[in-house]
């Protein structure tokens, strides 16, 4: 199983109190390339190949930004990390069915209680 040091960061969630205001800032003030909005509460950008997701603070990730590690075997990586003492919030599960793939996610906590996540695109 490859170590997470070999996984690329696929997405960073930036927690916002006002997603529309943050979207305007990232797009207009910073000039980051806007990809799309998903409903009223999510906005996605491309920053040099890393996707930024602006989202409201809610659920397990409230009060923290989230690093998402792209992996090719989310179940295997979850088992391996659990064996090393990593505390997962939930089991790997599908969160979105896209036109060309399913997006799977498994969130966990680091030693400082920040939320991190494994992410797999299944084709």
Domains of the chain listed by start with CATH number: 9-56 (3.30.720.120), 63-123 (3.10.180.10)
pLDDT of 5: 85
Tracing tokens 């599960």 back to the chain, one arrives at: 93
State the DSSP string of the chain.
---GGGSPEEEEEEEES-HHHHHHIIIIIS-PEEEEEETTTEEEEEETTEEEEEEE--GGGTT--EEEEE-S-HHHHHHHHHHTT-EESS--EEEEE-SS-EEEEEEEE-TTS-EEEEEEEE-
Stated pTM of the model: 0.69
Nearest in space to 108 (alpha carbons), one of 20, 77, 48: 77
Read off the pLDDT band of 103 (50, 70, 90).
very high
Cα separation, 49 vs 43, whole angstroms: 16
Q: What is the pLDDT of residues 3-41, one digit of tens each?
A: 888 888 989 988 888 889 889 988 998 889 999 999 889
């Amino acid at each position: 199983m490859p170590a997470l040091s070999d996984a690329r960061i696929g997405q960073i969630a930036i927690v916002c109190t006002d997603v529309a205001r943050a979207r305007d800032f990232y797009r207009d003030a910073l000039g980051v390339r806007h990809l799309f909005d998903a409903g009223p509460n999510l906005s996605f950008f491309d920053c040099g190949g890393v996707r930024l997701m602006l989202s409201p603070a809610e659920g397990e990730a409230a009060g923290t930004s989230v690093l998402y590690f792209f992996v090719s075997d989310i179940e295997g990586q979850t088992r391996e990390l659990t064996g090393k003492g990593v505390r997962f919030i939930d089991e790997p599960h599908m969160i979105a069915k896209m036109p060309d793939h399913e997006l799977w996610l498994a969130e966990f906590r680091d030693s400082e209680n920040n939320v991190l996540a494994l992410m797999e695109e299944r084709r």
